Amino acid sequence: MKKIMLNILTAGSLVLLLASCASVYDKHVQWQSVKPETFPVLHAIGQAPISLQNSQHETQRMLMAINASKLAAYAELAEQVYGQKINGEMTMSQLIMGKNEVSASVQGIIRAAKVIKSYPVGDSYTTELSLDFEDVYNIYLASSPKREIKAVTYY
């Protein structure tokens, strides 16, 4: 019985000791955002042939080429921002080159890009885009700011 009472007393005093120490480690942290010194500006060009668009009407082919060239420019911007994933496969049998395949893909979200120019060049349509990373940074700050410790107050 004395042993049980001693264990309960020891456990109770340990809980009180830990609870009193916890108040020493309570703190309030203030954060501030950190802005980079410089921001890069990326440029991309996309092109699409007008005559190869799948339509009977010339105006519709041109509109389709405009959209295709814009998508190609966005894909190029995504390559610059996120990189390009390359998959390759090659087979060799008895030192003779066999099947050789290479595929590439890019995936990402591009925000704040601006169309600089969109114009026809011969039988193709060209779109030029620009992406200023200061605009991207401002969008990022609005959604989830990067922070660093400004001040710590202990209680």
Which band of pLDDT confidence, cut at 50, 70 and 90, is reported for residue 73?
very high
How far is Cα 70 from Cα 130, in angstroms, rounded to an integer?
Answer: 12
Strand partners, 126: 47, 119
Reference 152, options 12, 28, 11; nearest CA is 28
121 forms beta bridges with 124
Average pLDDT, the chain: 83
Q: Which tens digits make up the pLDDT trace of 95-119?
A: 666 777 888 888 888 999 999 999 9
**Mean of the pLDDT values across residues 22-34?**
68
How far does CA 88 lie from the centroid of its chain? 25
Q: Which residues, in sequence order, are bridge partners of residue 102?
A: 88
> Of 44-53, 71-80, 83-92, which gets the smallest average pLDDT?
83-92
C-alpha to C-alpha distance for 104 and 83, rounded to whole angstroms = 10
SS3 10: helix
Q: Using the predicted structure, report yes or no on whether residue 133 has a pLDDT greater than 60.
A: yes
End-to-end alpha carbon distance in the chain? 41
Per mean pLDDT, which range of 21-30, 42-51, 65-74, 142-151 is the poorest?
A: 21-30
The more confident residue out of 144 and 114 is 114
